[in-house]
Amino acid sequence: MTVKLLYFAWVREKTGLGEESVDLPGEVKTVADLIGWLKARGPEYEAAFEQSDVIRTALDQTHVSHDAKIAQAREIAFFPPVTGG
């Protein structure tokens, strides 16, 4: 399944990418699985997701926890805790 991944703030700076399209292998079922899979893709991903517990995720623009199932999500975003206002 092809999904669009988006990265914001320091996650974007560390991966060096704002967005990319990836084909997810079947064994990647949850957000936590995806983070584990991304970390194995290279040192920049390993650095971006090193403190994976602080990273927030949105599936199709809705906040989710790391145990959420990716299911049919088309757009998956990773970012630090938000600091607007």
Partner 1 sequence: MIRVQQQDFDIGEEIDRLRAGRTDIGAIVSFTGTVRDTAKGAPVTSMTLEHYPGMTEKELERIEAEANARWPLHASLIVHRTGRMTPGENIVLVVTASASRGAAFEAAEFLMDYLKTDAPFWKKEEGPDGGGWVDARDSDDAARKRWSAQDKAAE
Binding site residues, partner 1, CB under 8 A:
6, 8-10, 58, 61-63, 77, 79-85
CA distances, 50 to each of 17, 23, 25, 27, 63 (Å): 16, 22, 21, 21, 20
Residues β-bridged to residue 78: 7, 57
> Residue 75 carries which side chain, given as an amino acid letter?
E
Least distance (Å) from partner 1 to the CB of residue 47? 14
Residue 34 or 58: which CB sits closer to partner 1? Answer: 58
Minimum CB distance to partner 1 smaller for 62 or for 65: 62
Which one, 21 or 25, has the nearer CB to partner 1?
21
